[in-house]
Amino acid sequence: MITDKRTTKVIRNPVLPGFNPDPCIVRAENKYYIAVSSFEWLPGVRVYESANLAEWEHCTDILTDQVRLQGNPKNCSIWAPQLSYHDGLFYLMYTDVKSTKRPFKDCHNYLITASSIHGPWSEPIYLNSSGFDPSLFHDDDGRKWLLNALWDYRITEGNKSSGIVIQEYDPKQQRLIGAPRKLFDCTPLKKTEAPHIYKRNGYYYLITAEGGTGSGHAVTVARSKELLGPYEVDPLNPMLTSSGKPEAELQCAGHGSLVETPEGEWYMAHLCTRPLEGQYAILGRETALQRVYWDEEGWLRLTAGGNTPLTEVPLPQGAALQGATRTDFADDFQGPQLHPRWNTLRILPEKGWCSLSERAGCLRIHGGESAQSLFNHHIVAIRQTDKSFRAETALDYEPEMYLQMAGLMLYLNEDNYWYAFISHEAGRGRVLRLLRCVRDEFTLEPVIIDLKEGLVRLAVDVSGVSGQFYYRAAEQAEWQPVGQPQNISFLSGGFTGNFIGIAAHDMNQFKGSYADFHYFRYVGRDE
């Protein structure tokens, strides 16, 4: 889909559609940057850039071979990166979550730095594991401070995020010094996380997320004349929320961060969702921007009034729109490297299993472990960015038994996916089949389509919560349905969003077979 913004004079939300949660926005070197969470998908931190706050393009990916995600459960791994820029240096904070099994949370916080947003980045510096959502504050006296949400396993009911802690960081020693101090307790909204501190007009402003990342999500603002507090909560708290507003197009609004334009205007980047049928966030948690200002009492407010997120906000002064924003994607696999829009699951797209050189003009994927593997799932996928879309691919694949499969997949996580795949059945030969997993309940659908030799095209057409797979063999002029349309609302939930992927699996012999994919197309549409 192409959205033309040139004549609108506004920023249209979400500015980063599809799975792009936990945004941290910063201005540096005459550019705006937003870093977002990736969870179990690699590369680990995706960074977008913009010159006008309205039109965003992929800029770079930061975490690649610095992290080891194999075996991490769903909804774990890379959480809530915080990007800051100070004295010519970029700082990236992130959490690598290894387990969220109650009552504990195994999460490790790291810092890396670079003089350019494109790197090279330093080796990770381990900081602590007391909670998640680390944030680095650069005070004007030269000192630096780490903030993070504090997890307390002793809390018996509800969420165990007990507030925000702060501890000094010494960049020369590259370690935390002094003792951590509790900076802020939860408001009645509870579940306090995602801290950021901004200093303005003699106040330290602490911005946090509260209420959980679901329908009760919110932005809480507090302030203090002293860095270490005590902090006074905004009397009109929450500053931003969709809670109790089912009519709002943007739901789950929270997890905010601030940026100031060169002209002195302020904007907040925040997380949001656009649930289908009012409840299914298949696209995952997305990123939106709101125009904000400081009122006469020095509190942060939406320029539109109230605290409800809007789908349209004013452009900054003097900003000019450049052109159309594209969500469509096409790849003919002609380049020497995989297109940066692709993502892989817990492992990097190394040549040992994912190659653009073994067969010219094709992406060869060697069969990995099953679609439920936490270690070697060989899938290459893109985010769903539109409520309705069509994706298609073509592959050569000659499996020899039922344990070998390759095809086109809709994938939320190892418990929720839908897969049209080519395999082999004894006595029938090469066949096309469907399988799905819905909330960890596996179903091999009864449809079996015999295939002759040659190229097979696969497609999936999604309209809201309805999806239909299609195929077209070499001898066919028209696309044919594979099975029946399905309700895909199960591809919603957790911390990520739906991905559309091409994949190969071999449960007989690891990397014992391979599939050659000739192209991939994704076209979104308005409905």
Q: Nearest Cα to 515, choosing from 373, 353, 337, 390?
A: 353
What residues contact residue 386 under an 8 Å CB cut-off, 6+ apart?
A: 1, 17, 18, 283, 327, 524, 525, 526
Using the structure block, give the residue that is written with the tokens 């190394």: 350
In angstroms, the CA 444 to CA 247 distance is 38
pLDDT tops 60 at residue 346: yes
Domain residue ranges in the chain: 2-326, 329-525
pLDDT in tens, 79-122: 999 999 999 999 999 999 999 999 999 999 999 999 999 999 99
In angstroms, the CA 165 to CA 129 distance is 12
pLDDT tops 70 at residue 5: no
At 6 the pLDDT is: 45
**452 half-sphere exposure, CB direction, 13 A CA radius:** 6
pLDDT tops 50 at residue 503: yes
At 318 the pLDDT is: 86
CATH among 3.40.50.1460, 1.10.510.10, 2.60.120.200, 2.30.40.10 for 329-525: 2.60.120.200
pLDDT in tens, 423-465: 999 999 999 999 999 999 999 999 999 999 999 999 999 999 9
List beta partners, residue 380: 344, 502
**E-state strands within 298-375:** 300-302, 312-314, 324-326, 329-331, 343-345, 354-355, 363-366
CATH hierarchy code of domain 2-326 = 2.115.10.20
Active-site residue, from 22, 55, 133, 506: 22
Give the confidence band of 475 by pLDDT, cuts at 50, 70, 90: confident
pLDDT tops 50 at residue 176: yes
pLDDT tops 50 at residue 156: yes
Active-site residue, from 40, 55, 61, 193: 193
In angstroms, the CA 359 to CA 365 distance is 11
Euclidean distance between the first and the last CA atom of the chain, given in angstroms as a whole number: 11
pLDDT tops 60 at residue 7: no
At 504 the pLDDT is: 98
Contact indicator for 62, 112 with CB cutoff of 8 Å = yes
pLDDT tops 50 at residue 12: yes
In angstroms, the CA 318 to CA 143 distance is 35
> Would you give the DSSP letter of residue 234?
P
What rounded mean pLDDT belongs to the chain?
96
Give the confidence band of 237 by pLDDT, cuts at 50, 70, 90: very high
What residues contact residue 246 under an 8 Å CB cut-off, 6+ apart?
A: 278
Whether residue 193 lies in the annotated active site: yes
At 157 the pLDDT is: 83
